[in-house]
Amino acid sequence: MSTLFISDLHLEDARPQTTEWLMAFLEGPARSAQALYILGDLFEYWIGDDAVSKAALSVAAATSALAGQGLPIGFQHGNRDFLLGADYAARAGLRLLPESIVVDLYGRPTLLLHGDSLCTDDIEYQAFRAQSRDPAWQASILAMTVEQRTEMARNMRDASRQHKGAVEMAIMDVNEQAVRQAFIEHGVERMIHGHTHRPAVHEHGLPGGGTGTRIVLADWYDHASYLEVTADGAASRTI
């Protein structure tokens, strides 16, 4: 048995190849999994459950079918799809998860999160993150017309690209102290996250001499991959 993890697919109608990769994954490896976790940024942007893209409709049909066959599918919000709500989640058979959660993976407690909360050196982004998670702010956005929200999403995406081009890459990566604090607060020695688009396995020294393992998931811009966790360990797989 295995548990699978994906993140940062950034699905949108303009990139149909990525949706095709996801369908291949859902029709292949996911069918024999014990559980599937999507750790944020499944979509390039999300402007509300009342404005679902063609890609999102295809995804919902596929994931709801798997969920109906007994596959638990957990979803954490990312920095692009934080407005994804209960209506779409129910339609897609997704279980909405908190921003951070500890799950038992074959006897090993593991912290799951999107990863953006660990990038504390990027002060400008953290300010936006705090605003975007505010229920009142979200309600004000969802009260706009679909056209207004679409334009806002495009502007936010452009601003994000400009921000990335103007800020040192190191600032947008995780902060070592934030990582260690997460290990300590949740009482775990392993975490899995996405967001940074820098797939790797990192070891962090912890107080008392222990070591924390941090597994970073890959994005799906150039190819599709997933993390497979079994009782024997974790390994990255390509589709």
Of 199, 121, 132, the C-alpha closest to 159 is: 132
pLDDT at 166: 53
Quick check: 185 pLDDT over 60?
A: yes
Fold category of 3-238 in CATH: Purple Acid Phosphatase; chain A, domain 2 (3.60.21)
Quick check: 198 pLDDT over 60?
A: yes
Distance separating alpha carbons of residues 25 and 16, to the nearest angstrom:
14
Distance separating alpha carbons of residues 10 and 130, to the nearest angstrom:
21
pLDDT at 167: 60
Q: How many other β-carbons are positioned within 10 Å of the β-carbon of residue 153?
A: 19
Q: What tens digit of pLDDT does each residue of 33-49 get? A: 999 999 999 999 999 99
pLDDT at 17: 97
Q: Which residues pair with 237 in a beta bridge?
A: 226
Q: What percent of the chain has pLDDT over 70?
A: 96
pLDDT at 159: 77
Contact yes or no for 125/172 (Cβ under 8 A): yes
Mean pLDDT of the chain: 95
Distance separating alpha carbons of residues 69 and 139, to the nearest angstrom:
34
pLDDT band at residue 162 using 50, 70 and 90 as cut-offs? confident
How much is the average pLDDT of 70-80?
A: 97
How much is the average pLDDT of 163-180?
A: 78
Q: What tens digit of pLDDT does each residue of 216-239 get? A: 999 999 999 999 999 999 999 999
Residue of higher predicted confidence among 162 and 36: 36
Residues 6+ apart with CB under 8 A from 11: 18, 19, 22, 42, 43, 44, 53, 55, 56, 59
Residues 6+ apart with CB under 8 A from 198: 173, 216
Task: Encode 157-188 in three state secondary structure.
Answer: HHHHHHHHHHCCHHHHCCCHHHHHHHHHHHCC
Contact yes or no for 22/10 (Cβ under 8 A): no
pLDDT at 80: 94
Residues 6+ apart with CB under 8 A from 21: 220, 223, 224, 239
What sign has the CA pseudo-torsion 128, 134, 135, 140? negative
Quick check: 156 pLDDT over 80?
A: yes
Quick check: 92 pLDDT over 60?
A: yes
pLDDT at 165: 61
Of 155, 9, 169, 24, the C-alpha closest to 78 is: 9
pLDDT band at residue 168 using 50, 70 and 90 as cut-offs? low
Distance separating alpha carbons of residues 150 and 13, to the nearest angstrom:
14
Q: What tens digit of pLDDT does each residue of 104-124 get? A: 999 999 999 999 999 999 999
Of 3, 41, 27, the C-alpha closest to 221 is: 41
How much is the average pLDDT of 133-137?
A: 95
pLDDT band at residue 152 using 50, 70 and 90 as cut-offs? very high
pLDDT at 27: 97
The domain limits of the chain are 3-238
